[in-house]
Each structure stands twice: as C-alpha cells, then as structure tokens.
Amino acid sequence: MKSNTSPWIFTASCPSIIGTVDVVTRYLAGSGHYVDAIHSFDDRASGRFFIRIEFLPHDGFEEAIFARQFEKRATEFDMDWQLTAPDHKPKVAIMVSKYDHCLNDLLYRFRTGQLNIEVTVIISNHPDLEPLAKWHGIPYYHLPISAETKLEQEAKVRELIEEYDTELVVLARYMQVLSPSMCEYLDGRAINIHHSLLPGFKGARPYHQAWEKGVKMVGATAHYVNNDLDEGPIISQGIQTVNHAYYPEDLVAKGQDVERVTLFNAVKCHIEKRVFLNGKRTVIFEG
C-alpha cells in the first residue's frame, strides 16, 4: 500500500487506560487508511499515554468526516487529538536581537525546504538585521524596548503575532526576558534557544566566564518558553567538546554552531508534531 503520497499526521494524548492504541489503529484500518509509521509511549510517572501516527488516506478522504467519526471514539478515552494535513505549513514569527547566526540558519533551511514552514514576519528590538529580512522578502519590525516600555512593546508584538496568524514563535537569540503575561500568552507555541554550559554561566559574557573556568564542553538547549527563565520544557539539546586551546572567541564560535543546529532540531520536531508537553517535561518521538 506504499505510495508517493505524503502522509497525514495523527497525534493524541489521553489517560493511560487499556485500548488506547487499539481505538486509533482499528479506526484507521476500518476506514481504509494505511498506517505508515507509528510511535507511542505510556508514561507511568504521569499516567498519560501519547501516540503519533503517519497514515496514507484512502481515495476520497475527507478530513471533516474523519473528525466527526473519530471524535465519538476519542470521547470515550478522554483523548486530546489532532490531525495535520501533509501540505500544512505552519506560519512562524521569528524574534531576534543582534546575533544573526540562528536567524540566518533558520532562513536558509526555510528557503531550501529543510523546514516546512512559512516565515511570515521577523520582529526585533534592534534595526541591525533588517537588510537580511529584506533580502528574503520578509517583513521586519523594529520594536525598541526598555524597562519603561516593556509592556507596550510586548503589546505590539502580540498584535503582529495575531496579524500574521502566527502558529509558532521562535526566539532566535532574542535577548530580552519576556513578561509573565507574555509567557502565558505564548505557552506551548514559543521556542527559545540559550547557551547551556557546565557549570551554567548566567549573565553577561557567558563564554568568557566559561573560558576563565576552563570548561571542556559547550552546548545549547532549545525549550518552550514559560515563566521560569530558561527553564521551560526541553525539546532539544546539543553539546561539543572543547579544550585548553579554545580562547573566548573560539568558544563563542563553537557555541553558536551548537545553538543554530539545536534550534533547528527543536523547530523541526515541533512542526512535525513530534513533541508532546507532559507537565514540565516533554515526550518526543524521533524522526
């Protein structure tokens, strides 16, 4: 039953009870859909079940009919579920300050099709990267921010997120701490990237701090935004070894390489519906 047709994606979570896999796969098979890939996980700690299925629909498939028929079964299992079409491209807003390595990487992967997204708007608290946005034909909004104008600036950001029908916000080295209300507004749909060093160096010039301590590893963590600074549910992490020959500028360069790849991996997992929030943790089905 293999074909060149791109699969639909079915994702769901529900309480851990008997029959969770069967209710989904039986419905798909009974409706004439071919299951191309399936991943599931039952978390004993949280008592939640998670499942992701890629399937090839039968001829004449209609999403509305699928939803109406399956919802009757899902209700019995208290199942939260979602169906994603193969041609769906999430609309993404990127927020950035002055560092361009993550933004450059995301735009390249967007342009070459490695990320199946539409980057609809770039928002920054600095004007520096507007030429890069213009080269890609993407609207760029410079919204300066200060302690006194923070809430006003965030209100404008919200307006842009709504105006561009944004599904995902990516903080590609946006060097501002979001307010609690902004974090709540973006809950589950904003991804941040930050350096992750051992030990954790916070504040200004983290790589210089790391060099002074003689670190042997640099890394990065991509996570969902929440009100705990840099402590949201983790999606992706990366790490590279370094040694005594690395000066601060070398650590910065190596760290930026890790940051851009780690952020790309997180965004890709999110848009492919491979990430499930599970309390303060995540369940992630690898591709």
pLDDT tens figures, 5-40: 789 999 999 999 999 999 999 999 999 999 999 999
Residue 157 belongs to domain with CATH number: 3.40.50.170
Residues 20 and 96 in one domain: no
Mark whether 75 and 96 lie in a shared domain: no
Structural tokens at position 59:
């001829």
Instruction: Please tell me the total count of domains within the chain.
Output: 2
Same domain, residue pair 133 and 202? yes
Same domain, 106 and 139: yes
Tens of pLDDT, residue by residue over 241-257, are 999 999 999 999 999 99
User: Is the alpha carbon torsion for 208, 212, 214, 220 positive or negative?
Assistant: negative
130 vs 3: which has the higher pLDDT:
130
- Domain presence at residue 105: yes
28 shares its domain with 102: no
The answer to whether residue 3 sits within a structural domain is no
pLDDT digits 0-9 by tens, 223-240 = 999 887 667 899 999 999
**Residue that finishes a domain, picked among 61, 84, 107:** 84
Are 211 and 102 part of one and the same domain?
yes
Residues 150 and 109 occupy one common structural domain: yes
Sort strands 190-195 and 168-171 into parallel, antiparallel or unpaired.
Answer: parallel
Out of 54, 84, 114, pick the residue that ends a domain: 84
| Predicted pLDDT of residue 40 | 97
Mean pLDDT of the chain: 93
Q: Average pLDDT in the 149-166 region?
A: 97
Q: What is the mean pLDDT of residues 259-265?
A: 97
| 105 catalytically annotated | no
Whether 169 and 278 share a structural domain:
yes
Kindly state whether residue 2 falls inside one of the protein's structural domains. Answer: no
> Does 106 lie in the same domain as 60?
no
The CATH number assigned to the domain holding 37 equals 3.30.70.260
Could you say which of 69, 84, 99 is where a domain stops? 84
In a domain, 144, yes or no: yes
| Residue 134 belongs to some domain of the structure | yes
How large is the C-alpha radius of gyration of the chain?
Answer: 21
Q: Using CA atoms, how far apart are residues 220 and 237, in angstroms rounded to an integer?
A: 6
Share of the chain above pLDDT 90, in %: 85
Asked if 119 and 136 count as a contact pair (C-beta separation under 8 A), the reply is yes
1, part of any domain: no
The pTM score is: 0.93
Domain that holds residue 19: 8-84
**Coil, strand, or helix at residue 52?**
strand
Same domain, 121 and 262: yes
With CA atoms as reference, report the closest residue to 96 among 127, 72, 70: 127
Q: How many degrees, rounded to 5, is the angle at CA 272 between CA 270 and CA 277? A: 40
- Looking at the fold, whether 121 and 46 belong to one and the same domain comes out as no
Pick the catalytic residue from 43, 230, 250, 257: 230
Cα angle value 50/77/83 (rounded, 5°): 55
For residues 71 and 89, what is the distance between their CA atoms, to the nearest angstrom? 24
Same domain flag for 155 and 25: no
